[in-house]
Copies of this chain bind each other. A is one copy, B any other.
Amino acid sequence: MRLDPIAIENLVSQYLDEDIGRGDVTTDAVLTRDIRARGKFLAKQNLVLAGLEVAEIVFQWFDPDIQIQAFHLDGDAVTAGKEIARVTGPAHMLLAGERVALNLLQRMSGIATATAEYVKVIDGTGAVITDTRKTAPGLRIFDKYAVHIGGGHNHRFGLDDGILIKDNHIAIAGGISAAIKRARKNASHLLKIEIEAGTLAQVKEAVEGAAEVILLDNMTPEQVRECVTYIRENEPEGRNTLIEASGNMSLETVRAYAEAGANLISVGALTHSVIAADISLKMNV
């Protein structure tokens, strides 16, 4: 996944507008505009850095000449106490951008740090960690990029770039077979079909329907293992069905799912319950 600077600039501009509104009345009252300052981003915990590039865009949106000296790059593991980057420029602009830059950097580094922990826990199993669409509304591009930086894989971005037939679709469509049949007929010839299954019976129906990807939802590791075995024994030679597991994964439980044979493990908490990484920005003249 890659960040498109133009799309990001529009979002960043919206965030700055949200925070600054009609102007920074404190800074305008307290400082003249000719003062230059510098600020240090400090890691106050161990973290995987994500979002520094975005923080740069925040500051440079105001003034292309603001200088940023990076001591670490997105993806680096940074230990508590280390300086991440230094920023130099007009004091009133640094103060106006400070909060938005920190809010993004702390959230994204929080996501990357958590993702890296999940990735480490399943190391060697061959499975990959993926995100979900359970992101903070409006922030999906940043949330998913942070997962990518943390070593996770990205699931579909939205409803338009992948077919995933979920429980609600199946309930309304009248079953897995009917749903797959309709999807095969109507969907783009460039898209695979992923279907959610909550029971072995549903898995069997999905295999029969020749689903290219099967999502095992809210199962125990043992149930996942049973389904994986069924799939591998019953799929035709060339199909290589991809198997995804999901449902309230935690650092404690995730390895068992990987070892049960899932190819992908999706973790909603990576983005729906983010603990911001502790990063400070201290300025002086």
Within the assembled complex, what's the spacing in Å between the Cα atoms of A192 and B141? 23
Chain B residue at minimum C-beta to C-beta distance from A22:
B160
Give the docked Cα–Cα distance between A28 and B187 (Å): 8
Contact A160 B273 (CB under 8 A): no
Residues of A in contact, count (CB < 8 Å): 94
Contact of A4 among B18, B23, B29, B187 (CB under 8 A): B23
A153 to chain B, nearest CB (A): 8
Contacts of A282 in B (CB 8 A): 167-168, 171
Q: Which of A1-16 contact B (CB under 8 A)?
A: 2, 4, 11, 14-15
- Decide if A29 touches B182 in the complex (CB within 8 Å): yes
A5 to chain B, nearest CB (A): 10
Q: Nearest residue in B to A15 (C-beta to C-beta)?
A: B137
**A103 CB-CB contact with B under 8 Å:** yes
A-B contact pairs, 25 of them (CB 8 A): A2-B33, A18-B140, A19-B137, A19-B140, A21-B161, A22-B157, A25-B187, A26-B163, A29-B182, A29-B187, A30-B165, A31-B182, A35-B172, A106-B272, A136-B136, A156-B188, A160-B161, A161-B188, A163-B190, A171-B282, A171-B283, A189-B213, A189-B264, A269-B276, A273-B276
Instruction: Report yes or no: A183 in contact with B26, Cβ–Cβ below 8 A.
Output: yes
A191 contacts B by Cβ under 8 Å: yes
Do A160 and B30 touch across chains, with their CB atoms under 8 A apart?
A: no
Q: Which residue of chain B lies nearest to A194 when distances are taken between CB atoms in the complex? A: B190
